Every structure is written in C-alpha cells, then in structure tokens.
Amino acid sequence: MPSPAVNKAMDILQKLRKIREEDEAIDVKLSKIVQMTAEEMSADSAGCYITVEGNSLALCAQYHLNPELINKVVFRFGEGLTGEVAQNNRTQCFLNVDNNPKLEKKSSIYLSEVKTFIGIPLIRWRRSIGVLTLQHKENHEYTPLEIEILETVAMLLSEIVSSEEMAEIRDKFEKTSHLSDREKLKGVSLSKGYGLGLAVVHRRRQVVTKIFAEDKDKELNRLAIAFSQMNADLEEKLNATKLGIGEHVDILDAYKMFASDKGWYKKLENNIQSGLTAEAAVERAYEDMWNRLSGTTDAYLKERLHDLRDVSDRLSSYLSGDFGTTKSIKDQDIVVVAQTMGPADLMDYDYTHIKGLIIEDGTPTMHVAIVAKALSIPVVAKIKGIFAEVKTGELIGVDGTDGYVYMHPSAMVQQKFKSKIAEKEQLQAKLAELKPLAAETKDGEHINLYLNIGLSFDLDYIESTNCDGIGLYRTEIPFMASDIMPNVDRQIAYYQELMDKAGDKKVIFRSLDVGSDKLLPYWGNVGEENPAIGWRSIRITLDRRAILRKQMRAFLRAAVGKELNIMFPMITNVSEFKEAKETLLMEVEKEKKRSAQVPKKINVGLMIEVPSIVFQLDEILPLADFISIGTNDLAQFIFACDRGNPRLTERYDVLSAPFLSVMKLIIDKANQYGVYCSVCGEMASNPIEAMALIGLGFRNLSMSGSSFGRVKSMVRSMNAQAMSDYINTLIKSSAKTFRPQLISYANDHGIEIY
C-alpha cells in the first residue's frame, strides 16, 4: 500500500501528464504547470525562467510573482538566488532568506515576503536551460520526496522549454540578444586557417524527448533488454582483450560492476513505475545522484558520479538503439561547435570533413586544440553563448587566422572564404616544395626539426615533411581514443606502427601522461580541486606502477633490435626520475631473464615542465640521456596561469623576459653537460617563437605536422647569430611581451613567418 506521500507524487505526475497533453498554447501550459506545482507544494509564489543568451534568465511563467516581468530578462547567471541555482546547476533550498542579501528584492520580482526559497535547474546537456523557483512566506522544510517531485516537474519543463514550439517565445528574448544580431563574432584563434561548413553541435549524450511512459510494462521490457545487452557487450569487449593483471583490471571490473549494479537497476525500475519512460528514468536516477553528490569534495564519490554519468550515457544509447554510430552530416563539410571537448571526441566525426572547430571554453593548449591544429583544422574559441546559439545544419564560416566566426555568411563572405582557402592551399603547395631542402639557417646552422605525434593520421606527416624524427609521441592519445585500457599487445601494435613508419629516424616515446585535461574514458574523474597540479602524469604512473611497468614492457618489445628513447613527463624531483628509470630497468632485466631480445640501445630522458626541476639541473642532467621542454606546462607553472582557463588565454606571453630567461638557463645547462635538449611544447610550432628559441641556442625543435613547413621556411630565411644577438639584448627588457618587436624584426630581415 503506497504511503500518502507516494500517492501525492503519483497524483502530481497524473496532473502534469494531463496538462502536457492538453491542446493549449505552450505559454498557457507552462503557467498551468507552475501554478499547479505551487499549489501542490503550498507555495505562495513560483516562477519558471528560461536561459537566454547563454547566461541570462528571463521569466516565462509565474504564479503570484510580478506579472510585469514576464518575457523580460530578470537575472544573470550567478545573480541572486535564482542565478545561483542556474550557475551551480543543482537544486538549492534556502530557509530564512528574508535576511539573505542574495534575495533578489531589487528586481521587484516578489510581491510578498519570502522566507523559504527553492530553485530547481532545468537541465539539458548538463547546463541550466532555465530554473523553476518556489517561494513560501513561512519556513518550509522540503522532504526528499518533495524535492524528487519538483525535479520531475523540472524535467518536464526542460522538455517543453527546449521544444520547437518554444522557439517563438524564445525569439521574443533573443531579439534583445546581441549575439543573434551579429553575423561576425570575435573570438580567440587557436588554430589558423579558414573553413566553411554546416554546423554540427557536439553534444555528449542523448536528449530525453519523451518523459512519460504510455505503457509501463513496455518501458520495463525496453529497460531490461537494453540493460542486459549493454552488460553482455561490456563483458564480451573486456573478455576479448587480454588484460593481464593490475590496477586497470580492477578499474574495469569496478566499472562493469557499476554497469550491472542491482540497486541502480531497481531505482530505474521504480522510476518507470512512477510513470517515466526508460530514458527519463535513467536521467532521473543520475540527477538524483548529481544533486546529492555534486557539492562533495570527496574524490571517491565524485568518481562514482562520473562513472554513473558514463554508464547512464551508455545505457541511453542502447535504449535509443544508436550505440556506436558516429554523428555527422553525411559527406558534407562541417564545422563542429562544442562547449568543451576531449581530444578523442573529434574521432566521433569523419575528420576529413571537419572544416572548422568552435569551442566556447577552449584554450590554446587544450588537447583538442592541439589535435585540431595537427589536422590543419581552424579553431576559434571564447565566443560567449555560441554553443547555445548555433543550431545543427546552419552555415558557418571559421576564420581561425584572425579569430572570427561568421554565422550565416553572405554570398560575398562565402566567396572570400573560398579564395582564402585556395590561397592557403597554394601556400601549402609552396611549403611542400621545401621538403627536399635542408632545415638550415642562412648562416649555416642546421636545426633538427621533429614531429609531435598523437593520433594515427599524424603518421602521414612523417612521409610528407621529411622530418628528422619524432620528438614527442603522446602515448596517452591512443589510450584516450580507446574504450578500454589497451593491454600490452595492443600497445606494442601502436608503438610498432610508429617505429615502422619512422624507419631509421629517431622516435621519442613519452610515458603515459594522463590526468588534468587528459581524462581516460574508462577511468573515473577523480574530481580534484586543482587537476593541473594534482594527481596526474608521472605521479599517477608511479603510484599505479603496474600501468607504467606494462607500458615499459610494450616499449621494449616494440623496439627489439632498435634504438629506444623514452621520456617521463612532469618530473618534479630527481627521485621521481630515478624511480621511473628503475622501473624501466627492472623490465629490461625481466625481458632478459625470459631470454627475450631487447632494444639495441635505450636512452632515458625527462620532460622539463615543472619549475622545481629547473633548479635541479646540475643533479639530474648527469642522470639523463636527453631532456625535452614541455613549454605548455612549463609556462603554466612559471606564470601560475592555468593553461586551460579561457579567461587567461592572452594574459602572459612566453615571448617575455621571465620565460625566455628560464629557457636560456635550461639550454645553457644542457649544453654544459652535453645533454641533448629539445623543445616539444607548442612554442616550437609557432614560427615567431621558434625563431626566438633558435636565437637562444636551441637546435632541436619538435612540432605539430601542420606547422612543419612554416617553421622550416622561417628557419631557412633567418640568421641564427644575428637573432642570438638580438634576443640576448631584448631579454634584458622588462616589457610584457616582445612579440611586436620580434614580428617587426622578422619583417625587416625578410624572415618568413606565415
């Protein structure tokens, strides 16, 4: 016999369903839902807001609120209690708010006193697309069941608010939006070039379009089939891969257990029993957990939340039947528009058709930007609100050179784009002609130019560039692109493919560098406060030694009879390097013990990315065969400036005294100890920065394949000695940036900086 509370919940769901099915205008339905909800909860007032322009909230339905504010923007995200709910993206309830300075009195939204305020975000794509609020004149403690009911109401509201029917109402607000009036939007360039194509909005998961079940048994049956199919496939996938033993197996087992968890399944069944479709039941279960755990700082719980998101997405894709299909507008040129994106996400599309990428929260050193650059895809970031604005199928032009996006470009603008694209192709052809020529400065200094490789299509550059070798192989990229942790055999296959393509050329493998913005899909996100300076890179692989050992084993076996170069990232002190090196040497011993063949020579190096190691060069250089400077990380730590924070993108310049002085110190020490030293961060990919590095004394530069021709052309047109004299004078200045001076210098001296 259901309790009165459960009966009440069922009753509300019934009423919701009835309103939803009525043949009424959408704004009438919204008002009815808001009123019904307020009355059921004995609230004195209630409102439904929708998100416009990406970060503002406009009132679209009200009950005993100021009716004059209907269809007007009332709050910004983060403003007042309502804006706080939208910003934090989770349900928040406040008692005794009459004394709370955040209560939004100034907007004259409330007509009477408010003591209790509850706000529930309307969520889609993990973002607030609106907020439902209820207010009481007295203190009212919401029970978990009441909150659950309100969240179900919010789910229905979010469905209505994002429906096509709502478009007209939304238009009223959008008229005040600057964004929709603008055709040309300024952002920040992350990868140069021009591209034109149809927008594809990159979303991570399915949208729940049907919330209420028409036939509970049918939904229960759909759930049962999808659940068992998903688990059977997971089992098969994991069994088909020889995983060996180690922590990764524990992680995968935990994931499997999570996916088959009986408690979760029961919760989904209950949600269906309360009237939801299977898809909505999955979302509902996730939102419950999100509301409970999103505020926690406990890493373990955060990890569970991440796991649940992942298995929920997986289950939803089985429910919709499109598991494993890739999204694209078939055979058309596309521009991918994302809020944010992981590097492996690009693989969801046919990359030959990606003509541009717009990442609202992008930063230059984020890995997807680096991958896009490697693919010569122009990228523009930091256009506020663009993700919410663009619709799949709209024509967009991306000017990655100057950092502009053109929405619905006119015929004239399209023509301009086409001629720019043709110009770029001509430049590419010109640069390709440099292939057989030496990378030598005008005064005869040979500069070794290497490639940075991550994805398999980067391998094509080995042939097309005639490079000196691979200066950085980011081994984490294939790990990130894989659904499960690659076992030793799979790793050997990746590494051997690279070595085969490289032939006699030098290849530097970097050990797994995950964490921070490089998350593995099959690992929970540990949800750290400061991931860039958290448990990442060598810190993870030293703590999870089995992963490191297996990778070393795979390197050794892939390079039998050849020269093997391994470097360890994010080394912070000498002991870390010693420990990592010992792990490698132990694996060498093991291979020898089982009478296996080993590489003919093994060189062990480290990346200079953390300032503390710069102060231990005298200790570490005698232990290392080579070093390579990761300027992306080194710059973020030298300037204490998050490389992933879009607000800080152009704040500090590596072309300034503090950073160039550190670079000079490193190269001088490496030369003193006779240790090979290269630069493999993004600095080496940019002609003007590479020119400065050569002036400082660097002779080994490793860069993305798409930058290779431009850097080589710069090298061939510069004079190393003259540059050295100039940069050593410049470095004494305290200017914020030397970029303008270096560009003028290049122009005055005929140095080609395309």
> Which residue in the set 53, 219, 283, 633 belongs to the binding site for Mg ion (CB under 5 A)?
633
- Reference 161, options 211, 205, 97; nearest CA is 211
CB of 567 to Mg ion, least distance (A): 11
In one-letter notation, the amino acid at residue 181 is: D
80 contact, one of Mg ion, ligand PEP, none, CB 5-8 Å limit per kind: none
- Does position 458 interact with ligand PEP (CB under 6 A)? The reply is no
φ and ψ at residue 567, rounded to 5 degrees: -130, 150
Site for ligand PEP in 270-299 (CB under 6 A): none
- Does position 279 interact with Mg ion (CB under 5 A)? The reply is no
In three-state form (DSSP H/G/I as H, E/B as E, the rest C), the secondary structure along 185-237 is EECEEEECCEEEEEEEECCCCCCCCCCECCCHHHHHHHHHHHHHHHHHHHHHH
Based on CB atoms, which residue is closest to ligand PEP, 44 or 633?
633
Based on CB atoms, which residue is closest to ligand PEP, 343 or 397?
343
- Does position 576 interact with ligand PEP (CB under 6 A)? The reply is no
Angle, nearest 10°, between helix axes 545-558 and 247-259? 120
CB of 714 to Mg ion, least distance (A): 24
CA distances to 34, 60, 157 from 17, in Å: 14, 20, 12
CB of 537 to Mg ion, least distance (A): 7
Of 18-26, 282-290, 300-308, 602-610, the window that binds Mg ion (rule: CB under 5 A) is 602-610
Distance CA 570, CA 566 (A): 14
Distance CA 408, CA 660 (A): 43
Based on CB atoms, which residue is closest to ligand PEP, 468 or 633?
633
Site for ligand PEP in 513-532 (CB under 6 A): 513
Based on CB atoms, which residue is closest to ligand PEP, 417 or 473?
473
- Does position 476 interact with Mg ion (CB under 5 A)? The reply is no
CB of 743 to ligand PEP, least distance (A): 23
φ and ψ at residue 333, rounded to 5 degrees: -70, 135
Distance CA 644, CA 19 (A): 45
Are 182 and 331 in contact by the 8 Å Cβ rule? The answer is no
CB of 644 to ligand PEP, least distance (A): 11
In one-letter notation, the amino acid at residue 252 is: L
Of 32-40, 80-88, 205-213, 629-637, the window that binds ligand PEP (rule: CB under 6 A) is 629-637
Longest dimension (CA), the chain: 91
> Which residue in the set 409, 630, 644, 705 belongs to the binding site for Mg ion (CB under 5 A)?
630
CB of 465 to ligand PEP, least distance (A): 18
- Does position 399 interact with ligand PEP (CB under 6 A)? The reply is no
φ and ψ at residue 238, rounded to 5 degrees: -70, -35
681 contact, one of Mg ion, ligand PEP, none, CB 5-8 Å limit per kind: ligand PEP
Residue for token pair 């210098």: 745
In one-letter notation, the amino acid at residue 165 is: E
- Does position 638 interact with ligand PEP (CB under 6 A)? The reply is no
Based on CB atoms, which residue is closest to Mg ion, 155 or 514?
514
Site for ligand PEP in 334-373 (CB under 6 A): 365
Distance CA 123, CA 345 (A): 22
In three-state form (DSSP H/G/I as H, E/B as E, the rest C), the secondary structure along 598-643 is CCCEEEEEEEECCHHHHCCHHHHHHHCCEEEECHHHHHHHHCCCCC
CB of 607 to ligand PEP, least distance (A): 7
Based on CB atoms, which residue is closest to ligand PEP, 161 or 512?
512
Based on CB atoms, which residue is closest to ligand PEP, 33 or 449?
449
The footprint of Mg ion on this chain (CB under 5 A) covers a number of residues equal to: 3
- Does position 474 interact with ligand PEP (CB under 6 A)? The reply is yes
**393's torsion region: left (phi>0), alpha (psi -120 to 50) or beta?**
left
CB of 482 to ligand PEP, least distance (A): 17
Distance CA 129, CA 387 (A): 12
The footprint of ligand PEP on this chain (CB under 6 A) covers a number of residues equal to: 11
* CA 258-264-270 angle, 5° bins: 165
631 contact, one of Mg ion, ligand PEP, none, CB 5-8 Å limit per kind: ligand PEP
- Does position 680 interact with ligand PEP (CB under 6 A)? The reply is yes
Residue for token pair 């598991």: 323
**189's torsion region: left (phi>0), alpha (psi -120 to 50) or beta?**
beta
Based on CB atoms, which residue is closest to ligand PEP, 431 or 634?
634
Distance CA 646, CA 366 (A): 10
- Does position 580 interact with ligand PEP (CB under 6 A)? The reply is no
Distance CA 546, CA 209 (A): 44
Of 8-16, 33-41, 225-233, 623-631, the window that binds Mg ion (rule: CB under 5 A) is 623-631
> Which residue in the set 53, 146, 151, 633 belongs to the binding site for ligand PEP (CB under 6 A)?
633
Are 195 and 398 in contact by the 8 Å Cβ rule? The answer is yes
Type and span of the H or E element at 431: helix 411-432
390 contact, one of Mg ion, ligand PEP, none, CB 5-8 Å limit per kind: none
Distance CA 140, CA 149 (A): 15
In one-letter notation, the amino acid at residue 410 is: S
CB of 533 to ligand PEP, least distance (A): 13
In one-letter notation, the amino acid at residue 477 is: I
680 contact, one of Mg ion, ligand PEP, none, CB 5-8 Å limit per kind: ligand PEP
206 Cα distance to chain centroid: 18
DSSP type of residue 339:
S
> Which residue in the set 486, 599, 644, 681 belongs to the binding site for ligand PEP (CB under 6 A)?
681
Of 124-132, 137-145, 630-638, 745-753, the window that binds ligand PEP (rule: CB under 6 A) is 630-638
Of 182-190, 312-320, 415-423, 606-614, the window that binds Mg ion (rule: CB under 5 A) is 606-614
CB atoms within 10 A of CB 174: 16
- Does position 631 interact with ligand PEP (CB under 6 A)? The reply is yes
Distance CA 709, CA 451 (A): 11
Site for Mg ion in 135-174 (CB under 5 A): none
CB of 643 to ligand PEP, least distance (A): 8
CB of 598 to ligand PEP, least distance (A): 28
Based on CB atoms, which residue is closest to ligand PEP, 59 or 680?
680
Distance CA 47, CA 54 (A): 19
- Does position 632 interact with ligand PEP (CB under 6 A)? The reply is yes
In DSSP terms, 50 is beta-bridged to: 58, 130
Based on CB atoms, which residue is closest to ligand PEP, 631 or 649?
631
DSSP type of residue 698:
-
Of 6-14, 87-95, 153-161, 627-635, the window that binds ligand PEP (rule: CB under 6 A) is 627-635
Based on CB atoms, which residue is closest to ligand PEP, 473 or 745?
473
Which residues of this protein are in contact with Mg ion, per CB under 5 A?
609, 630, 633
Binding site for ligand PEP (CB under 6 A): 365, 472, 474, 513, 609, 630-633, 680-681
